[in-house]
Structures are given as structure tokens and as C-alpha cells.
Amino acid sequence: MTVDIERHLAEIDDQGFTVVDDVVPPDDVPGLRVAVQAAIDADWERYRGRPGKEYFISLDLVAHGEPFLTLLENPVVDALFGALLGETWTLYTFTSTMVYPDIDQYTCKVHNDMARQSNGYLLGALATIALDDFTEENGTTWFLPGSHRRADEPTEDEFFADAVRVERPSGSAAFFDPRIWHAGGRNSSGRARHGCTLYACRSFMRQRLDYPRLVEKAGIDSTGLSKTVRRVLGFDVRVPTSLDEFYVPPEQRLYQPGQG
């Protein structure tokens, strides 16, 4: 891995975001793009009509198995999240990042992904992986540089006066502080723009979904997962549901030692 981790950490600290090229190898991008679209369609078929369900987003890519599980141990993703959040970081959520043509999506409104300020101590970090070239025409993201240090929401006029469009090639990833104010762009290309986003958190925080149980319910064999994937999914920080699960030898405990 030839990524300049220190440079990217400095850019996140200063601007609130950074772009890393070639996070996903070119040969792997088409398969991931197809898998994201398939996950969106499958989730829509299963959950349509549920409160809060929108067609354009899949909130549970982990449940769709490969190739998403492999992406959890991508060396660049693991290295940068590890540098930001500690090597025991876990997954908060793993979603699709789609912008469909000429549709108003809530992801295209000015927002941040964590309202809590923590005096410079990062509680989370995100990586949005481009599975198409992200361009102004197809709705690449607006970021307001430096806004991760402000708690108040900028007005739309203020945001768009100073925000920048982050164009980047497929396979790249934008890593960013969840407190930065940003917005998806409007897609006027006539085609859907594909991507996916990993939201990482520190190991002592609650995940958005109970991934160990989710994996089991999805029929994925958890015993075949690598140590890295199991850690990222939260298998090392589970809470016992009974004293029978608590009073066991240390190597069998659900919450393993050394988790940050």
C-alpha cells in the first residue's frame, strides 16, 4: 500500500475531507456497481411501504454478502479508519450512495452525519466509494471545507457560496469527518450514479444495526469470516444476554479484551 496516510489525515483535520484514488481496483468496480444496484432492488422488494423506506438507498449492504464483506477489509479503508479511530474500529453502517436523475433525495440536502461536537476527538469517520466517475453532471458531493469545526448549520446561501464539488474517478474514496456539512448534487446525466458508503465508529460505541445477528439471519456463515471482518462487524464487542454467556473462559467471552 502506497497511500500517504499522514497527508490524508492532515487534509481531514484541516478541510474535513480527503480523496484517495484507486481504493477499489478497476477490475472490482463493475461487480460492486452491479451488487449495489441488486441490493437496492432486493431491499425495495422486501421493505417497500415500511416507514422511512426510500427506493434509492439500501441500509444493510452487509446482509447482501459478497462483495461487500470483502470491502470491509480493504487495506486502505482499514488503514485510514484505523488511523482516525483506532485499530479496533467497528462498522456503524454500510449503505448504498446513489443519486438518481432529476429526483429530490434527502441526501442532496445540506446536512452533516453527526451533530455531536467532541472537541476534536473523532467518534466516527466515513468513506464514500465511487463506483461511477463522480462528476458535476451526475451529482458529485458538495463539501464545505472546514465546516466540521462548526456546530451550527449554514444557510443554503452560505453553504453554496463556499462549498466545493469533489469530482473523482470510479474506484476512489472520499474519507470525511461526519461533522462536515455536505450535500449530494443534483444528477442531470440521465443515468444513476452509483456508490457506497462505510460509516465507521469507535469500538465502544453502539452500531446502527446488530451486525452479528444480522449476518446470522441473512444466512451468512460467520465462522468463515476473517478476523478483520468479524472485528469490523462487531463480533468482538458483543454484549452478553445472560450470566451464562458472561461466566465463560476469557477466550469464549463475547466482549473480547483489548478493544479500545
Sign of the alpha-carbon torsion through 187, 178, 116, 40: positive
When computed from its CA atoms, the radius of gyration of the chain, rounded to whole angstroms, is 18
Q: What's the pLDDT at 257? A: 87
The neighbour count for residue 242, using CB atoms within 10 Å, is: 7
DSSP string covering 100-116, please? -BT---GGGSSB-S---
Write the pLDDT tens digit of every residue in 16-36. Answer: 999 999 999 999 999 999 999
Distance (Å, whole) CA 177 – CA 113: 9
Q: HSE on the CB side for 4, CA within 13 Å? A: 7
Specify the pTM: 0.94
Give the span between the Cα atoms of 221 and 152, in whole angstroms: 44
Summarised one tens digit per residue, pLDDT across range 218-249 is: 999 999 999 999 999 999 999 999 999 999 99
Q: What pLDDT, in 10s, does the model give residues 146-179? A: 999 998 999 999 999 999 999 999 999 999 999 9
Place 70 in a pLDDT band, splitting at 50, 70 and 90: very high
Q: 1 pLDDT exceeds 70?
A: no
Q: Which residues contact 1 (CB under 8 A, 6 or more apart)?
A: 75, 76, 79
Q: Could you give the domains of the chain?
A: 5-252 (2.60.120.620)
pLDDT, residue 116, reads: 84
3-state secondary structure 189-226: CCCCECEEEEEEECCCCCCCCCHHHHHHHCCCCHHHCC
Residues with Cβ within 8 Å of residue 212, at least 6 apart in sequence: 222, 233, 234, 235, 238
Q: What does the pLDDT average to over 211-222? A: 94
DSSP class of residue 241?
Answer: S
Is residue 120 predicted with pLDDT exceeding 90? no
Contact 118, 235 (CB under 8 A): no
254: number of CA atoms within 13 Å, CB side? 14
Q: Please, which pLDDT band fits residue 118 given cuts at 50, 70 and 90?
A: confident
Which residues make Cβ contacts (< 8 Å) with residue 99, sequence separation at least 6?
56, 105, 107, 108, 138, 139, 184, 185, 186, 187, 192, 193
- Distance between CA atoms of residues 121 and 202, nearest Å: 11
Average pLDDT, the chain: 95
Contact 43, 69 (CB under 8 A): no
